[in-house]
Amino acid sequence: MSSVLTLRLAGPLQAWGVSARFTRRTTETAPTKSGVIGLLAAAQGLAREADLSALAVLRFAVRVDQPGRRIRDFQTAHHLDTGDSMPLSERFYLADAVFVAAVQGEPGLIADLFEAVRAPAYLPYLGRRSCPPSPPVEPAVQHDALLDQALAGEPWRAAEWYQHKRRDEATVSLSVLSEPGGDVPVGATGADSWRDQPLSFDPRHRRHALRTVVTSTVTVANPCARTPPPTRPRPTVPAHDPTGPLEGV
């Protein structure tokens, strides 16, 4: 049996890089497995060089509740002590995005992670140190559950203004990026591969492996949906012929 831990990842800015290198720091449109596993490892207080194998085997999925907007920051900075200019860099962020990430694993480990996220050893951040989560990540554990069911049953976590914006839709379909359950090989048809399977967070030599990602959709209810007002009969203009009762000349 397995349990599922769900996290709400929401903040003014998020940045989830997979292929970000050097001065161009890009972001994916959804949280990466390495980013979320790193958040959990930090909550547990693991050191950078620690063995990740227990966390890396967790099955991971993320639901896009509010896609947000990609924004670009052209960053210039000077060294605090020497005043030398730092390398000019382009940094991309997701603004106003909300995701629900979920990891599935052995119940004991999930319970430990749940406790760790509630009282984290190192504060969590959303992909980049400068991007704190705005509401608490609201961890929740579902016992005896599978990843897909847990994400499909989770209520819509988008901001109220965003739910209100789509008030004409009673239900909304959200895309879910998940690891396939079986042994789907990397590069299978209909699947993406992302290089975000963490092998080591050692700052001297970070290593990531390829991971298979399949996209599906789930439908959730919109709590802000409005019922259309009852249609009211419009007054119609009656035909008017004043010459009916008159006699011609």
Partner 1 sequence: MYLTRFRFNTARSDARRLLSSPQSMHAAVMSSFPQILPTAAPAPRVLWRTDRNASAEVLLFLVGPFRPDLTHLVEQAGWPAAAASGTPGWQTFHYAPFLDRLDKGGTWGFRLTANPVHSVRNVDGAPTKRTAHLTPRHQVQWLLQRQEAGGFKVLPKPEDKQLTDHGDEHQVIVTDQRGMDFGKQGAKGRVTIKAVTYDGRLEVTDPDALRSLLTSGLGKAKAYGCGLMTLAPLG
Q: For partner 1, which stretch binds (CB under 8 A), given 107-115, 153-161, 163-171, 232-240?
A: 232-240
Q: How many residues bind partner 1 (CB under 8 A)?
A: 16
Q: For partner 1, which stretch binds (CB under 8 A), given 63-71, 85-93, 126-134, 235-243?
A: 235-243
Helix (H, G, I), strand (E, B) or coil at 181: coil
Residue 95: C-alpha distances to residues 32, 40, 83, 126, 214 (Å): 16, 22, 30, 11, 24
Selected binder of partner 1 within 76, 82, 189, 243 (CB under 8 A): 243
Q: Which is nearer to partner 1, 189 or 236 (CB)?
A: 236
| Pairing, β 24-25 against β 89-105 | parallel
Q: For partner 1, which stretch binds (CB under 8 A), given 6-14, 84-92, 182-190, 231-239?
A: 231-239
d(C-alpha 13, C-alpha 3), whole Å? 29
Q: Which is nearer to partner 1, 168 or 241 (CB)?
A: 241
Does position 231 interact with partner 1 (CB under 8 A)? The reply is no
**Are residues 212 and 190 in contact, defined by beta-carbon separation less than 8 angstroms?**
no
- The DSSP secondary-structure symbol of 233 reads P
Does position 233 interact with partner 1 (CB under 8 A)? The reply is yes
Does position 47 interact with partner 1 (CB under 8 A)? The reply is no
**Other CB atoms within 10 A of residue 3 CB:** 21
What is the number of alpha carbons within 13 Å of residue 68 lying toward its C-beta? 27
Q: For partner 1, which stretch binds (CB under 8 A), given 56-64, 91-99, 179-187, 237-245?
A: 237-245
Selected binder of partner 1 within 21, 129, 205, 240 (CB under 8 A): 240
Q: What is the x/- site pattern for partner 1, positions 198-227, by CB under 8 A?
A: ------------------------------
Helix (H, G, I), strand (E, B) or coil at 206: coil
**Are residues 19 and 194 in contact, defined by beta-carbon separation less than 8 angstroms?**
no
Q: Which is nearer to partner 1, 80 or 249 (CB)?
A: 249
Selected binder of partner 1 within 83, 185, 203, 245 (CB under 8 A): 245
Does position 248 interact with partner 1 (CB under 8 A)? The reply is yes
Q: Which is nearer to partner 1, 83 or 242 (CB)?
A: 242
Does position 241 interact with partner 1 (CB under 8 A)? The reply is yes
Does position 160 interact with partner 1 (CB under 8 A)? The reply is no
d(C-alpha 247, C-alpha 249), whole Å? 7
Does position 21 interact with partner 1 (CB under 8 A)? The reply is no
d(C-alpha 201, C-alpha 50), whole Å? 8
Cα 29 to chain centroid distance, Å, stands at 8
d(C-alpha 99, C-alpha 139), whole Å? 13
Q: Which two tokens stand for residue 183?
A: 């042994």
Positions that interact with partner 1 (CB under 8 A): 232-233, 235, 237-249
